[in-house]
Amino acid sequence: MPGTLLSPAKLGIAVGLAGAAFLGYCVYFDNKRRSHPEFRKQLIERRRRRNNKSAESPDDVPILSDQKSIAQYFMQEIKKGELLLSQGDLEGSAEHFMNAITVCNAPGKLLSMLQTSLPVQAFDLLLNKLNKLNSYHMQTQRMPNALDGMVVDDGSVE
């Protein structure tokens, strides 16, 4: 084929050069990023914040044998969830609603009530958090009574 501009050999060379250029670009900017004086500080700070957030355990978790403190905790978490939802913090509100569901006597009823009152995005986030919590407790075999055997389904048909 004398009229072909790109022979397989030329195409292979072009692809090889493009790959080498991309790899060089990645190495150059990774080196530049790592040598930046603030990079290490930012990385350490980000890790510290993530560890603090995951290490935080709420001090106001109720004693499970005291019904009054459970009821107070339940109402407190519902109020915090509603407040954060009104401020647009879907992640935080889902976290507090999940805390309320875990101590609720009738989690299924509360979940159906939340489904009708929460925006779809907030409810989906809540379902994801509940599924993660449920699978975590299944793996560690320490399932709390409130979520015992609870299967969370958003009801959507795929």
Quickly list DSSP for 90-144.
HHHHHHHHHHHHHH-S-HHHHHHHHHHHS-HHHHHHHHHHHHHHHHHHHHHT---
- Spatial CB neighbours of 58, under 8 Å, sequence gap ≥ 6: 99
Claim to verify: residue 125 and residue 69 sit in the same structural domain: yes
Most confident option among 59-63, 77-81, 88-92 = 77-81
pLDDT surpasses 80 at 138: no
Average pLDDT over residues 67-94: 89
Claim to verify: residue 103 and residue 135 sit in the same structural domain: yes
Claim to verify: residue 32 and residue 84 sit in the same structural domain: no
pLDDT tens string 37-61: 787 788 788 888 777 765 454 556 6
Share the mean pLDDT of the chain: 80
Q: Would 4 be classed as within a structural domain?
A: no
From 73-82, 107-116, 144-153, the region with the lowest mean pLDDT = 144-153
- In this prediction, residue 43 carries a pLDDT of 78
Q: Would 70 be classed as within a structural domain?
A: yes
Average pLDDT over residues 136-149: 60
Domain with 28 in it: 15-53
Claim to verify: residue 48 and residue 70 sit in the same structural domain: no
- In this prediction, residue 67 carries a pLDDT of 84
Q: Would 78 be classed as within a structural domain?
A: yes
CA distance 111 to 132: 16
Q: Would 21 be classed as within a structural domain?
A: yes
- In this prediction, residue 158 carries a pLDDT of 45
Claim to verify: residue 140 and residue 98 sit in the same structural domain: yes
Claim to verify: residue 69 and residue 141 sit in the same structural domain: yes
pLDDT surpasses 60 at 85: yes
Cβ(96)–Cβ(81) below 8 Å: yes
Most confident option among 14-18, 55-59, 87-91, 126-130 = 14-18
DSSP state at residue 36: S
pLDDT tens string 94-105: 999 998 988 888
What's at 154, amino acid-wise?
Answer: D
pLDDT surpasses 70 at 152: no
The predicted model scores a pTM of 0.52
Claim to verify: residue 27 and residue 85 sit in the same structural domain: no
